[in-house]
Amino acid sequence: DTGVSQDPRHKITKRGQNVTFRCDPISEHNRLYWYRQTLGQGPEFLTYFQNEAQLEKSRLLSDRFSAERPKGSFSTLEIQRTEQGDSAMYLCASSPPPQEGYGYTFGSGTRLTVV
């Protein structure tokens, strides 16, 4: 297993366009998290899945954002009608169930630039 993979690494889009990012977690991890990191700040929690169920969403996740994790494997994060304020690094992480310890592993992130 090569860890958590995110695709693409970089995305430049025009304001108003839709974008979709993909995250492939570590295969035996049932939890998957999305975070957003803006320049000079720490990552901020967006949402998380346990298997295919989306169990929590941050208030940061506006109606333009949607995340899915079909079949409890990979996840996608879509941003509709992008705005310049959406420019950030989007990080995905996965972890095993809590009883197995908080073994968080982060991906390398997708850097989004909205022009």
Partner 1 sequence: AQKVTQAQTEISVVEKEDVTLDCVYETRDTTYYLFWYKQPPSGELVFLIRRNSFDEQNEISGRYSWNFQKSTSSFNFTITASQVVDSAVYFCALSEGQSNTGKLIFGQGTTLQVKP
For residues 88 and 1, give the distance between their C-alpha atoms in angstroms, rounded to a whole number.
Answer: 27
In the shown chain, the binding pattern of residues 81 to 100 toward partner 1, with x for contact by CB under 8 A and - for none, equals --------x-x-x-x--x--
Residue 14 or 39 having the CB closest to partner 1: 39
Is residue 60 within 8 Å of 67, Cβ to Cβ?
Answer: no
Q: Does 60 bind partner 1 (CB under 8 A)?
A: no
* Shortest Å, Cβ 81 to partner 1: 26
List the one residue from 28, 56, 83, 100 that touches partner 1 (CB under 8 A): 56
For residues 30 and 9, give the distance between their C-alpha atoms in angstroms, rounded to a whole number.
Answer: 23
For residues 93 and 87, give the distance between their C-alpha atoms in angstroms, rounded to a whole number.
Answer: 19
Q: Cis link prior to 8 (omega < 30° from 0)?
A: yes
Binding-site ranges for partner 1 (CB under 8 A): 31, 33, 35, 40-45, 48, 55-56, 89, 91, 93, 95, 98, 101-102, 104-109, 111
